[in-house]
Structure 1
Amino acid sequence: MGASFMMVCLLTTSAKAVNEKVVVAVIDTGIDTEHKDLKKTIWINVGETGKDSQGRDKATNGIDDDGNGYVDDVNGWNFVDNNNQVSDQEGHGTHIAGIINTQFTQTKHGSADLQLMALKYYSPKLSNQMNIINTIKAIHYATMMKAQIVNYSAGGAMPEFYELQAIQNARKLGIMMVVAAGNETEDTDVVRYYPASYRLDNMISVAALSKDGGLTSFSNYGKNTVDIAAPGKLIYSTLPQNRYGFLSGTSQATAFVTGHLAAVVADKKPANYKLAFESLFKQAVYSPALKGRTKFQMALLNEIP
C-alpha cells in the first residue's frame, strides 16, 4: 500500500506521566475523536483551551495561542490538509487508536489516564514522498509537544535522511517509538523496511502473530531486525462513526505493543527507555515458533477480547 498503510506512536523515556497522563502520538490517518470509546482518551493541548484576552475560545479563535506554529491544534494536527481537522476518513487510525486504548486499559494497574494525540499524515491521494514529508512533520510535532510515545504503524523500502534525523531528535529526549515490521512477507535482515530498519535503541519493531501463535502469512520478519511479535490477524477494534470491525496487519500488532508500553510507563514510571523496554519484555513469553524470525523470540500473546 505505498509507504505501507501503517503508522507510529511516541513515548518519553523519562516516562514520567505528567498529571498522571500518558500521551501517545498516533501518526496515522487521523482519529474519530467523537467515537464513544475514544472520546475521553483524546489528547487536549492545554495551550489552545480556555479564553484569550478578548474572551474568545482559544480552541476556535483562529490564533496560534501557544506559539507552536499551529493554529487551534486542540487534539493534534492534520498534516495532509494543514489544518486542525484530525478526523479519519480511512478508518485505519481509528482502529489503531482503539487497540492502543483497549490494551492500555486492560494492562495498567494504576490510575493514570491515556491521551491519544491525533497526527494525520497519510492520504491515499498523496504521493509516497508527500506522505513521508508529512510523517517527518508529525514526528517533529510529537517531539515538540512532548508526547510520551509515538506509534508509527507504517513504513517503506527506502530510508529517508530527514525521517531518521527526526527520530534521532526524539531519541535525544528519551522518546520511544513503536514501529511496524511491515506486511510484505520479507526477511528485513535482507530486504530493509524503514523506519524499523534504522535500528535505533529507542525503537521497537513489531511483527504480526496469527491466531495459532506463529507469524501471519503476510508479516515481515528478521532474526536481527524485528524485536517482538504481537496479535495482528483479524483484530477487532473501533472504526469511524461509532462502528467496529476487524483488520489485520503489523499495524495492529504495533498498536497492541504500544498499549502495553503505555501501561508500563503509567505503572512503572521507568527512568529511561531501556528500563521501559525491559519491563515490557517481562510481559512477553518465549515462543519457539519465532526462532529465526525475531531477535528475542518473544511474543505478547494475551489476545484482545
Structure 2
Amino acid sequence: MKAFYFLLVLLVTLSSLNAQSLIVQWEEGKDLERKVVGEESRRLLVPSLHIEQIDFASEDALHLAVKELSPCTCVRALEIDRKVDFRTDPNDDFYGSEQGNLIRAGFDRAWDLTSGGKTSEGTDIVVAILDAGFDVEHPDLEENLWVNPEEIPGDFRDNDGNGYVDDIHGWNMIDDSNVYPLNTHGTQVIGLLGAKGNNNRGVSGTNWDIKMMVLSISTISNIVESYGYILAQRQLYNSTDGREGAFIVATNASFGVEGGTCEDFAVWGGLYEELGRAGVLTAAATANQNWDVDMFGDMPTDCPTDFLIGVANVGTDDRLYRSSGFGKENIDLGAPGEESYSTLTRGRYGPFGSTSAAAPYVTGAIALLYSTPCPSLLDRARNDPASAALLVRDAILSSTVPNTSLTFRTATGGSLDVAEAQRMLAESCNLGEAVDFAITAVRPNPAAEEALLETNAIVFSESGRIDLFDSMGRLVRQQSAIRVGGATVTLRLNVAGLASGWYSILVTERDRVARSVIVVR
C-alpha cells in the first residue's frame, strides 16, 4: 500500500498537478510530528494554536488522510483548504463580464470596506435621481427604492402633509402622480447607481443597498419642483435629528441644456447652493458634445457652486470620449461611462453609455463615502451638513487618477477613483477636528517664486482666496486659493515679482480666516 501511494505521489508530482491541502488543529500536548499517509509537506500556520497546513499530491490522498485523522483524539479540528469567494465581488450575473467600469472607477476596492447603503450608525443613505421615468418594478431595482416612512401606501391621503398624496418612492412631477412613466434612460441611470448588489441577479449598482428617491422630470419647472421636494426632505431630517425626512446626500443630474448657462437659469441654478447648505451634493453629466463648455456653456455644469460636480465621459481606453464635453473651469473630473451595462425596462438588461452614464458613478461615490466608518463625518452631517458635503466632495476631487486626456480639460485632470477617495476620507477622519482654521507651515520661507501654505483644514471650497499685505498693511496681491492635494489642505502661494521684504498672509474661506507671514527674497 505504501509503495502504491509513493508511486501515486510520484506520478502526480511529475505531471505537475497542484497539491491539495488539509488544515489541522492538533490537540495541545499531542505529538505534532505524527506523519500522515500521503503527505508531501506541511507548515505551521498558527503556532500558538497548533494549526498546520498539510499538503497532499492528490485529492485521493487528501481524502484518505481525512478518514485517517477524523477519529483521532490527537485532532481538535480539521478542514479541507479551498479558495474563498470574495464577498466584495458581487455574484450578480453580468458583474464579471459586462461591468468593468465599476472596477475601473475603484468600486471593487472600496467594497472591501463597505458596499454602501447605510452609515456606520445604521442610517439609510438616500440619493435622489431626476430623470424622465423609471421601471420601479424591475426586480433588480425595487428593493433599493426609497420608501417614504410617513406615507401609508394606497390610502389616497397625504399622510405626511407635504402636498403629495401617496408619494411612496418620490414623485412623477411630469404628471403630478405617483405612477412613473416607463423610460429606458432613467432605468439605466438608477441601475448603474443602485441596482441591488450580490443578489445573484443581473447587475450590481455602485452601492449594493442604497435607497433611491426617484423623481420624473421633463421641464425646468419639474426640475425646480423636484429639488424643492428633495430639499424639504433633507431639511426635515436635519431639523428633527433624523427622526423624520430622509438623509439625502446626493442627487444625480444626467440631463441639462447644452449651450445654456447658469445665468440663463438662475432659479434652477441657485437651488444647487441651497441643496448644498442642507448637505446635498449633485453630480451632473456634462454635454454630449465635443466642445469646451467653459466657452459654449452647459447647464447645469457651469453653475458656480461648490456643491455641484461636473462629470465628463471616459471611454474604455481611459481617454476622454470623443462625444463628451469638457472644461478646465467647470468640469471637475472624468468617470468611465462609456460601454457601461445596466438595467433596462421590463426587467431586462443592456448596454449604456454617454455622459449620462458617467455621472451616476460619481453620485454613487458620494453615497458610498457616507457609509465609510467615520464618526466625525457623521457629526458634521448633523451639525454642519454643508461642511460634511464639502468634505466628501474634496475627497473625491483630491483623489482622482491622473489622466493626460483630462489634464487641461477638467479641473482635477483626472478620473474617478472611489477607493482612493475612501482612503483619504478615512485618513482625514483619523486626524480629528481642528479647533480653529490655521496655517500650520509656510514652505519655503523665505521664498523667491512660490511657497506652499500647509493648513489644518480638511474641507476647503473653491471660493477660498489668499491676500498678501506688505509691511505697511497695503494689499499688494490677491489670488484664488489653489489646492495642491493631500488629506489636509495645502495651498500654492505665488510671490514671484514681489519686492524683497516681509509680508503678511491672509487666507479666507467662507467664514474662516487664517494668518501667517512670509519673507520674500
Q: What SS is found at the alignment partner of 2:129?
A: strand
Provide, for residues 53-100 of structure 1, a one-character-per-residue CA deviation record: whole Å limited to 9, x for no partner.
Answer: xxxxx21111111000111000110011001112x4221111000111
Q: Within the alignment, does 1:150 sit opposite 2:150 as a pair? A: no
Alignment-derived partner of residue 253 in structure 1: 358
Q: What SS is found at the alignment partner of 1:273?
A: helix
> Separation in 1 of the partners of 2:183 and 2:391?
36
Q: What SS is found at the alignment partner of 1:148?
A: strand
Cα pair distance change 1:252/1:18, threshold 3 Å:
farther
Q: Within the alignment, does 1:117 sit opposite 2:213 as a pair? A: yes
Alignment-derived partner of residue 153 in structure 2: 59
Provide, for residues 110-157 of structure 1, a one-character-per-residue CA deviation record: whole Å limited to 9, x for no partner.
Answer: xx94100010003xxxxxxxx111011111111111222111111113
* 1:144 aligned partner, one-letter code: A
Question: More displaced, 220-229 or 262-271?
Answer: 262-271
> Separation in 2 of the partners of 1:189 and 1:165?
19
Deviation at 1:232, TM superposition (A): 1.7
Alignment-derived partner of residue 293 in structure 1: 409
Q: Within the alignment, does 1:98 sit opposite 2:191 as a pair? A: yes
Provide, for residues 30-67 of structure 1, a one-character-per-residue CA deviation record: whole Å limited to 9, x for no partner.
Answer: 2212111111100000010xxxxxxxxx2111111100
Alignment-derived partner of residue 293 in structure 2: 188
> Separation in 1 of the partners of 2:145 and 2:121?
15
Q: Within the alignment, does 1:89 sit opposite 2:182 as a pair? A: yes
> Separation in 2 of the partners of 1:18 and 1:79?
33
Q: What SS is found at the alignment partner of 1:240?
A: coil
* 2:255 aligned partner, one-letter code: A
Q: What SS is found at the alignment partner of 1:189?
A: helix
Match of 2:222 among 113, 134, 157: 134
* 2:403 aligned partner, one-letter code: S
**Identity over aligned residues, as a percent?**
30
Q: Within the alignment, does 1:273 sit opposite 2:378 as a pair? A: no
Aligned length: 267
* 2:228 aligned partner, one-letter code: H
> Separation in 2 of the partners of 1:71 and 1:106?
29
Contact 1:20 1:266 in 2 (8 A): no
Q: What SS is found at the alignment partner of 1:162?
A: helix
Contact 1:238 1:244 in 2 (8 A): yes
Q: What SS is found at the alignment partner of 1:205?
A: strand
Contact 1:102 1:259 in 2 (8 A): no
Deviation at 1:16, TM superposition (A): 6.3
Q: What SS is found at the alignment partner of 2:405?
A: helix
Alignment-derived partner of residue 267 in structure 2: 162
The root-mean-square deviation of aligned C-alpha atoms, in Å, is: 2.2
> Separation in 2 of the partners of 1:103 and 1:250?
22
Match of 1:173 among 265, 268, 278: 278
> Separation in 2 of the partners of 1:145 and 1:18?
20
Cα pair distance change 1:68/1:19, threshold 3 Å:
farther
Cα pair distance change 1:290/1:137, threshold 3 Å:
same
Contact 1:21 1:113 in 2 (8 A): no
Q: What SS is found at the alignment partner of 2:214?
A: strand
> Separation in 2 of the partners of 1:244 and 1:222?
32
* 1:176 aligned partner, one-letter code: L
> Looking at CA atoms only, which structure, 1 or 2, has the larger radius of gyration?
2
Deviation at 1:165, TM superposition (A): 2.7
Q: What SS is found at the alignment partner of 1:44?
A: coil
Deviation at 1:280, TM superposition (A): 2.2
Cα pair distance change 1:99/1:107, threshold 3 Å:
closer
Scaled by the length of structure 1, the TM-score of the pair is 0.81
> Separation in 1 of the partners of 2:168 and 2:122?
18
Alignment-derived partner of residue 138 in structure 2: 35
Scaled by the length of structure 2, the TM-score of the pair is 0.49
Deviation at 1:282, TM superposition (A): 5.4
Cα pair distance change 1:196/1:268, threshold 3 Å:
farther
Q: What SS is found at the alignment partner of 1:137?
A: helix
Cα pair distance change 1:216/1:144, threshold 3 Å:
same
